[in-house]
Amino acid sequence: MKANVDRIVAEIEQQHHGWERLFHEIKLTAANYELPCKVAKLQVNRLRNRYRDVSPYDHSRVKLLDGPSDYINSSLVEVETAGRQYILSQGPLPSTAGHLWQMVWEQNSKAVIMLNKVIEKGARKCHQYWPLEMEMPMTFAEDGYEIELISEDNMANFIVRTLKLSRLDSSEEDRIIYQFHYIAWPDFGVPESPNAFLEFLTCVRSKKVLENDVGPPVIHCSAGIGRSGTFALVDTCLVFLEKNIPFDIKDTLLEMRKYRMGLIQTAQQLRFSYLAIAECARRLMDDKDGHFTSSSVSDSESDDSEDGSQKSDGEHQENGDGVSEEKPENNRDSESKDNRKRHAEKDAEATEEKRGKQEETTLPVTETVETVPKEHNNNVSDLRRRQRQEKTEATFKKIEEIKSNMQSNEKRPSWRPYIIGGLIAGVVVGLAVRYWFR
Q: Name which of 168, 157, 169, 91 is nearest 130 in CA terms.
A: 91
Residues 256, 233: contact at Cβ < 8 Å? yes
Choice among 126, 221, 237, 280 that is catalytic: 221
82 contacts 239 by C-beta, under 8 angstroms: yes
The rounded distance, in Å, linking the Cα atoms of 354 and 344 is: 15
Identify whether 221 is a catalytic site residue: yes
Binding residues: 187, 221-227, 265
Q: Which residues are annotated as a binding site for substrate?
A: 187, 221-227, 265
If one counts every other C-beta atom within 10 angstroms of the C-beta of residue 150, the result is 12
Half-sphere exposure of residue 390, counting CA atoms within 13 Å on the CB side? 6
d(CA 300, CA 357): 37
* Catalytic annotation, residues: 221
